[in-house]
Amino acid sequence: MPDNSAILYAATINGDGSGTRLSQDEASSHARDDGLAWVHLDGRHPDTRSWIETELDYLDPLAIDALLAEETRPRLVEFERGALLILRGVNLNQDAQPEDMVSIRLWVDAHRIVSVQLRTLKAVRDIQDRLEAGNGPKHSGDFVASLSARLFERMEPVMTDLHVALDDVEEEVMDSPSVEERQTIVTLRRQAIIFRRYFAPQRDVVAQLRALDFAWIDVPAKRRLQENLDRITRYLEDLDAIRERAQIVKDELANALADRMNKTLYVLSLVAAIFLPLGFLTGLLGINVGGMPGADSGAAFWIVTGLMAAIGACQVMFFRLMKWL
């Protein structure tokens, strides 16, 4: 496709796993005939809306708005001729954060698939490569099942990374807790919350899609959708477990830091208790008034020093006897 085209990719789906690449003009003509064609559009291109309104003139304006909306949550809306489908995937683009979820918006019916992206999705490239290799989707239902499967499969490494990162933090907290680990725990928990916010409605979308009574969603496609539903359900359970573990680790870290602070304060309190009578004694003997005993004696200093040492030793013995040391 030309660089200035709203169409990023277009191909026929031939029913045997292969696809035939289409030009821009061919894509427009195939979008209106009875064959199955897939057109992938750039949602940020200024001509995308006009292309959809022209080639899919039967679409409800609300459906067009949903296809081009800047931000949207996963959902499915059933229409008489097809379904509007919005899915999310982890952001695996370079220099991007995985929790900055990317979306794919789809209009799917028996004869056409129109997808819209605002940012690059690797799952879409996977479908393109499989069509060109001859082992791609064979019909609309197979396309949706394959695309959702690729989206969900790419979530697996991210989930594994979350588990590994939390394991590492938990080990650090057990071995040598520090304040710096608190921010790591907060970040992991925030990521789990963000992923769950999008995964939960996505599970509902797949469940609703599997229940649709369209001829193009056949039994094998429903079976694959069930597998995708089981996978996303497992992810949600893992995210709940990560959130709970992160909270437990955070509590353990807070307790460890509190124990360390209490021990420090305890030691300082004992030191202060030892020096309290000694400080009182030196303060009393250091007042600059007449009549101080021993002021004229050369041995007075050593007597007072010995007395203070004896008092300190007695205090230490008392603390040990009381098991405070």
Residues 238-242 have a mean pLDDT of 92
Kindly indicate the confidence band of residue 121, based on its pLDDT and cuts at 50, 70 and 90: confident
CA-CA distances (angstroms) from residue 254 to 182, 186, 257?
Answer: 8, 13, 5
Would you say 155 and 235 are in contact if contact means Cβ atoms under 8 Å apart? yes
Bridge-based pairing of strands 7-13 and 19-21 is antiparallel
pLDDT tens digits along 156-210: 888 899 999 999 988 888 888 788 888 888 888 988 988 898 889 999 999 999 9
Q: What is the pLDDT of residue 325?
A: 66
270-282 average pLDDT score: 79
pLDDT tens track for 10-27? 999 988 989 888 888 888
The neighbour count for residue 237, using CB atoms within 10 Å, is 10
At 95 the pLDDT is 66
| 8 Å CB contact between 208 and 228 | no
User: Mean pLDDT, the chain, as a whole number?
Assistant: 85
Q: Can you give the length of the chain in residues?
A: 325
Token pair of 315, please?
A: 């205090």
Domains of the chain are 7-256 (3.30.460.20), 257-321 (1.20.58)
**pLDDT single digits (tens) 129-156:** 999 999 989 999 999 999 999 998 888 8
Backbone angles phi, psi at 69, to 5 degrees: -65, 145
The most confident of 115-124, 254-263, 274-283, by mean pLDDT: 115-124
pTM of the model: 0.77
